[in-house]
A = this chain, B = another copy of it.
Amino acid sequence: MSSNKISTKRRAEILDGNAVAAEIKAEVKDAVARLRESHNVQPGLAVVRVGEDAASAVYVRSKIRVSQELGLKSEHLALPAETSIEELLDVIEQLNSRADVDGILVQLPLPSAMDERKVLEKIDPAKDVDGFHPINVGRLVLNQQTLVPCTPAGIIELLKRSRVPMSGAIACVVGRSNIVGRPVAQLLLQHDATVTVCHSRTRDLASVTSQADILIVATGRAALIKSEHIKPGATVIDVGMNKITDEREARELFGDDAEKRINSIRTRGYTLVGDVHLRDALNAAGKFTPVPGGVGPLTVAMLMSNTLQAALMRRGIGNVSSEQ
């Protein structure tokens, strides 16, 4: 009987990133309102963008829109592509010194001639709502209170709110970027998981990933993770966002469900695919984040949460959450 059970096709529970993001945003909105009442403080977010990258413009507008919905004070500084690094550093310097600005985000990528590291290190660590400043990266490792990068922080919130136990779990992170892989590995370790980091040099990836109770994939390689990589019943978090433009590839990836995807390619020119093979994850995983609609929405929600957090920490105000 148990062997029959194993052969039965599973259907993974979908972890709904949009729903969790909405929950977090509602909490932030509530806390912002209470902060205005109790301390007459409105947290402020400044987003700086350089040049005309179309995707960046969309992301920034979305961040500004959400921050306004939640009652934050926000401003969008769109600098021309020919801005010099000295000018950009001056802009950051001014934002650093302004009392009404709690969070500063410089939208990446910067124009290629600019030294990204120099720019990110210019941001006051106390206002570094992206958590990319080396001192904040260090504080995260040292388990000190700090501003945590948004996507990793969102993944942990999703796991917590989906009641996925982390303590003692085997967690595997595929990908070692500074933005996702490395920080999420640190956070899983703080939550007492046994954590493995895999990457392009890992030999026999499937033999490592298939041991994981929690598998987090952030590689930028479409459908890299297939059935053989997934421990049956595991929680699989797909951070990938890859554009598929080839109809045949979409057909291979989605089989019977490909029509909608192919329509999307025909109308928009692409369809979005994660780093995890969708059908395989649905069949093998216990819980799974879809792409789109999984981790993506959490990133913006955590940016709002970080801006609130920065406003509280900078002013030495304790938590204003309604939880006791």
Contacts and interface: CB of A to CB of B under 8 A. Distances in A.
B144 A141 contact: no
A194 interface: yes
A142 B117 CA distance: 10
Chain A interface SS verdict (over half): mixed
Chain A, interface size: which category? Answer: 20 to 34
Interface string A102-136: 00000000000000010000000000000001111
A141 B182 CA distance: 8
A175 to B, nearest CB: 12
Given A138-B133, A142-B137, A192 B199 contact: yes
A199 B134 CA distance: 25
B176 A189 contact: yes
Contacts of A199: 189, 192, 194
A210 B316 CA distance: 47
A88 to B, nearest CB: 20
B189 A194 contact: no
A283 interface: no
Interface in A67-124: 117
A306 to B, nearest CB: 17
Given A192-B201, A194-B203, A208-B194, A178 B142 contact: yes
A168 B201 contact: yes
Contact of A168 (B134, B138, B178, B202): B202
A226 interface: no
7 contacts: A134-B138, A138-B141, A141-B141, A192-B199, A194-B196, A194-B208, A196-B196
Given A134-B138, A138-B141, 10 more contacts: A134-B144, A141-B186, A167-B201, A189-B197, A192-B199, A192-B201, A194-B196, A194-B202, A194-B208, A195-B197
Interface of A: 117, 133-139, 141-142, 144, 167-168, 170, 176, 178, 182, 186, 189, 192, 194-199, 201-203, 208
